[in-house]
Amino acid sequence: MWLWLLALLGLWLLRRWHRERQTVPGLEEKFVLITGCDSGFGNLLARQLDARGLQVLAGCLTESGAARLRAAASSRLQTVLLDVTSSSSIAAAAAWVQERVGQKGLWGLVNNAGTANPTAPNEWLRKEDFMAVLNVNLVGLIEVTVSMLPLLRRARGRVVNVSSMMGRLSGFGGGYCPSKFGVEAFSDSLRREMRPFGMKVSIIEPGGFRTGMTDPKAAAKELHRLWAQLPAETRASYGRRYLETYARRSALLHRLSSPRLSRVTARVQHALLSRSPRSRYAAGWDALLFLLPLSYCPTWLCDAFVAFLMPKPDCGTP
């Protein structure tokens, strides 16, 4: 009995492996829009897809970032200035994309633009600090996606949302983790809604990777700025040692993060180009071997792990 079950499981895995290796045809005719291409995952992905012959439409926040990307790619790649927190910028980009894709529609949308700072204990933050992250990572992602859906539906295309393992396991304060939980929820509902139209929606869940978003110097500077604005009573409750330990551990996590951004972009490419993309992709050994299994563990175990990593308030001198 068990041998038959193992044989069936093996055949199913072999069939899935074979289907996932098959690539959609006509790559040179497919348009893909990527947000957040000034640096990091978006920049690397844009250059990789351009090298494979796709028609890459790269959304960049700054003209200097767009110029650097154009210099590193072929003449096929086109850039557009796109601020995902601005409705007018999104509307202008949608019209620009419409002009270029025409009746072919948009094959792929990669929502990659993101930010993490300010990251700090929740009590140290104001509403504006949370919204600064949520507006980029979640609200902007939703608005960009909704504006592109008619073009994506025309091509029976793909939406790939870059989330995080912190969308499964919240490890620190600030707007980043809530925004990634929101990305997961939005992606799930969108996938189910778009299935009848032949569209596919995938989520990428990276572990720790070194990008400009995780710059420890910028994070420490922001942390000290927030500390200076706290009431004296709050600073006394946490203690100066808490602040310094929090900053050191953030820097340590950055150093332990992987510099191999291609581990993420390879999964984005699979989600865009495979005949049978997956709904979710974990990226990075820390995500696959530790964070993903931990996210399925009892709450008390997750709490104990996060508590071990976090500094302890010592009621020191403010």
pLDDT in tens, the chain (318 residues): 677 777 677 776 676 666 667 778 889 999 999 999 999 999 999 999 999 999 999 999 999 999 999 999 999 999 999 999 999 999 999 999 999 999 999 999 999 999 998 899 999 999 999 999 999 999 999 999 999 999 999 999 999 999 999 999 998 899 999 999 999 999 999 999 999 999 999 999 999 998 877 777 888 888 899 989 999 999 989 988 988 988 888 888 888 888 899 999 999 999 999 999 999 999 999 999 999 999 999 999 999 988 888 888 865 444
What pLDDT is stored for residue 177 in this prediction?
95
What pTM value is reported for the model?
Answer: 0.91
> How many CB atoms are closer than 10 A to CB 104?
16
Catalytic residue among 176, 238, 242, 281: 176
Res 80: pLDDT:
96
317 occurs within a structural domain: no
* pLDDT digits 0-9 by tens, 243-290: 898 888 888 888 888 889 999 999 999 999 999 999 999 999 999 999
Cβ-based neighbour number of residue 225 at 10 Å: 11
Q: Are 210 and 258 in contact (CB under 8 A)?
A: yes
Residue 13: inside a domain, yes or no? no
Rounded CA gap, 301 and 307, in Å?
10
The reported pLDDT for the residue numbered 316 is 47
Task: Count up the domains in the chain and report the number.
Answer: 1
CATH of the domain at 283: 3.40.50.720
CA distance 315 to 172: 20
Rounded alpha-carbon distances, angstroms, from residue 194 to 111, 188, 228, 272? 17, 10, 47, 15
Q: Which domain holds residue 96?
A: 26-213+258-309
CA angle 91, 96, 99 (to 5 degrees): 130
In a domain, 8, yes or no: no
Structure tokens at 62: 């700054």
Q: Answer whether residue 245 is part of any domain.
A: no
Q: Is position 265 within any domain?
A: yes
Q: Which of 24, 87, 76 is nearest to 49 (CA)?
A: 76
Domain assignment present for residue 250? The answer is no
What confidence score (pLDDT) does residue 243 get?
87
122 in any annotated domain: yes
Q: Does residue 296 have an active-site annotation?
A: no
Model pLDDT, residue 312: 84
pLDDT, residue 317, reads 47
State the DSSP H helix or E strand holding residue 32, giving kind and residue range, or none if neither.
strand 31-34
Q: Is the residue at 234 inside a domain?
A: no
In angstroms, the CA 25 to CA 40 distance is 28
